[in-house]
Amino acid sequence: MHLIQTSALTKAFDGRTVVDHVDLGVSRGEVVGFLGPNGAGKSTTMKMIAGFLEPDEGTASVCGHDVRTDPLNAKRHLGYLPEGAPAYSDMIVGDFLEFVAKLRNVPSGERNGRLGEMAERINLTEVWDQKIENLSKGYKRRVGIAQTLLHDPDVLILDEPTDGLDPNQKHEMRALIRSIAEKKAIIVSTHILEEVEAVCSRAVIIADGKILADEAPDDLTASAAQDKAIRLTVSAPEGEDIVAKLTPVTGKADIEVLTRVNGSASLLVKPQGRATQPAQLASKLQRAKIDVEEIGFHKPSLEDVFRQITQSKPSE
Amino acid sequence: MSSSINTIAVVFGREFRAYFSTPLAAIFLAVFLALSAGLSFFVTGFFERGQADLSAFFTWHPWLFMILMPAIGMRLWAEERRSGTIELLMTLPVRTWELVTGKFLAGWAFTAVALALTAPMWFTVNYLGSPDNGVIAASYIGSWLMAGAFLALATCMSALTKNQVIAFIVASMAGFLLMMAGFDLVLAGVRSWAPNVITEMVQSLSFLSHFSRLTNGVIEAPTVVFFCSMIVLCLWINVQLVDLKKAQ
């Protein structure tokens, strides 16, 4: 069973469809990365699952509880970090988390234990008695995360949890997400593609309210490498016409010089017609006395894939 | 039901403490005490009247509450929406009416504190003479009920906007109209186009006439019911407004 399930989830604002029949299922142990250009409908989708916005059509369920007909139970199983991690700035960190724990009905016997665990696990001990308005962005975000984990929910929805953090804080946040991933179903939205590769088991690309791709990050980049281009680094002294030298070896192919530094040239070879294996090409090159430093299929970055998918979408 | 009471109590506790976490509470209490005492001593001649009662003091309450209740209620929802915490609050397992009730009660309790701090006035008249303490008690209860109605109106306006200042001004205006509903200022405008029934209905909304009945020492059911239903109606509208406007 999927812990998060949306079916034909749809929302329009002022006649503009922002989320368009989104079907998505997330099981325990999965971390789904929600990717998409600004205004693609990521946040709106998350807000509907979290029960903040009501869907115009379709519905979503959390642990089997429909957000439309049984919102309280759906919310009980959910931890939600809204965009920007809002919190009452006039409150002290410990008081704020206690307030949330009480509204979450964490039994009073367990409450202090849970709060202590959060302080330790999310590194909040040193700011526990400070006002939230005086905290740095990193600490504020941590308070936001702590708030989502207080009741140990099965489902987590995090809207841009690393936005605005410095690289160390980002790294910490990702480690934290990875450490809890096993027991929960998690949706994380982000702008940062490397983050998807670092923490997510699935990447869902969404644009204009529709899901355009839903695959493991590796599969996504692999399937985008459709033309089987080979990336090649060979030694090539300055001034040598490396393309002319390679053409007889590679046969009919597009050869693109990417960089030339320190007597090496990086090239992208796109064979025309029959695909060539990197190993074959390597042995051919050796026979032609060309030093191969590195060779392999060109693996496009997730960024390339993202651009390809979100921009090449046929206009309707 | 017990979970509703728990939620209301937790929200009440946070909001009530929030008043004291900023200078707002101190400023409000100082202004309220200074104005209510100042006006009754120097304008309505508390001593010069030579009577052992507090009517010189209570006369001013409708006017003070018209301005001061919006100041208490304006932040309750506008601030949640401006800072985005409404998204946090409303994705917790709580119902909207529980939040609305908890916030209102916090503001109302704060008003009770303000009224309680005027007790020295009461002691003073008892020291100087022998007033009818029943009338004074009735007036305090009436004053608190009326404050509740002004406050419920203000929280309603607070749910309409993200801007506390706008919430304050609109709530004061609405409060003024309701207060003057029994007078020609408002009635003339209604009488010109509406049938008599409606004019009478508007007239019966007047906070001033209802309050003056209470300060005469008579706790009449219709007046108590009037202020209570005013509160309930405003809170009900408040719930609808929050659900409608929360995401905008």
* Distance of residue B202 Cα from the nearest chain A Cα, in angstroms: 37
CA distances from B165 to A157, B31, B70, B79, B132 (A): 34, 18, 10, 11, 41
Query: In whole numbers, what is the pLDDT of chain A averaged over residues?
Result: 86
Confidence of residue B238 (pLDDT cuts 50, 70, 90): very high
* Beta strands at A4-13 and A16-26: parallel, antiparallel or unpaired: antiparallel
Hey, are the CB atoms on B6 and A91 less than 8 Å from each other?
no
Minimal CA–CA distance to A106: which of A70, A124, A135, A79?
Answer: A79
Res A91 pLDDT > 90: yes
Determine whether the interchain pair A52/B84 forms a contact, defined as Cβ–Cβ distance below 8 Å: no
Band of residue A45 on the pLDDT scale cut at 50, 70, 90: very high
Among all chains, which residue has been given the structure tokens 């921009």? A311
Q: Does residue B24 belong to the interface with chain A, where contact is any CB pair within 8 Å?
A: no
How far, CA to CA in Å, does A170 sit from each of A155, A163, B130, B238?
21, 8, 72, 40
B219 touches chain A (CB under 8 A): no
B-chain residues near A87 (CB < 8 A) = 85, 88
Q: Tens digits of per-residue pLDDT, B176-189? A: 888 888 777 777 77
Residue of B nearest to A67 (CA): B91
pLDDT band for position A315 (50/70/90)? very low
Is the minimum CB–CB distance between B240 and chain A shorter than 8 Å? Answer: no
Measured between alpha carbons, how far is B5 from A105 in angstroms, rounded to an integer?
A: 12
Nearest CA in chain A to B21: A90
Q: Does A63 touch chain B (CB under 8 A)?
A: no
Q: Could you give the C-alpha distances from B160 to B81, B102, B135, B144, B244, in angstroms and in order?
A: 10, 18, 38, 25, 9
Query: Which tokens belong to A240?
Result: 């040598």
- What is the pLDDT, as a whole number, of residue B21? 83
For residues B70 and B168, the answer to whether their CB atoms sit within 8 Å is yes
Distance from CA of A105 to the nearest CA of B (A): 8
**pLDDT the model gives residue A225:** 64
Question: What is the pLDDT at residue B240?
Answer: 94
Rounded Cα distance, B8 and B95, in Å: 10
Across the range A183-191, mean pLDDT stands at 90
Which structure tokens are listed for A79? Answer: 């931890």
Residue B1 pLDDT grade (very low, low, confident, very high; cuts 50, 70, 90): low
Do the chains contact at A84 and B84, CB–CB below 8 Å?
Answer: yes
Q: Is the pLDDT of residue A235 over 90?
A: no
CB within 8 Å: A86 and B92: no
Closest CB from B7, B83, B87 relative to A89: B83
Which helix (H) or strand (E) is A259 found in, with range? Answer: strand A253-261
Q: Do B21 and A86 touch (CB under 8 A)?
A: no
Residue with the bigger pLDDT between A258 and A31: it is: A31
The answer, yes or no, to whether residue A103 has pLDDT greater than 90, is yes
Q: Using 50, 70 and 90 to split pLDDT, how confident is the model at A316?
A: very low
Of the listed ranges A89-98, A304-313, B204-213, the least confidently predicted one is A304-313
What does the pLDDT look like over B127-174, one tens digit per residue?
888 888 888 888 898 899 999 999 999 999 999 988 889 999 999 999
Is residue B214 within 8 Å of residue B138, measured between CB atoms? yes
- Confidence check: pLDDT of A127 > 90: yes
Instruction: Calculate the alpha carbon distances from B179 to A47, B48, B149, B203 in Å.
Output: 41, 28, 11, 10
Reported confidence tier of residue B57, pLDDT bands at 50, 70, 90:
confident
Check CB contact under 8 Å for B93 and A50: no
B22 touching chain A per CB within 8 A: yes
Cβ of B87 within 8 Å of Cβ of A52? The answer is yes
Whether the predicted interface score ipTM is above 0.85: yes
Report yes or no: A41 and A211 within 8 Å, Cβ to Cβ: no
Mean pLDDT of B55-77: 89
Of A266, A295, A298, nearest in space to A281 by CA? A295
pLDDT at A226: 58
- Point out the least confidently predicted range of A86-100, A217-231, B202-216, B229-243: A217-231
- pLDDT of the residue at B52: 67
Q: Select the residue from A102, A133, A134 to test the B interface by mutation, using most B Cβ atoms within 10 A.
A: A102
Residue among B14, B76, B79, B94 with most chain A CBs within 10 A, to mutate: B14
pTM above 0.90, yes or no: no
Mean pLDDT over all residues of chain B?
A: 87
Quick one: average pLDDT of B7-20? 93
CB contact under 8 A, B84 and A86: yes
Please tell me whether residue A131 adopts helix, strand or coil conformation.
strand
Q: Is B245 within 8 Å of chain A by CB? A: no
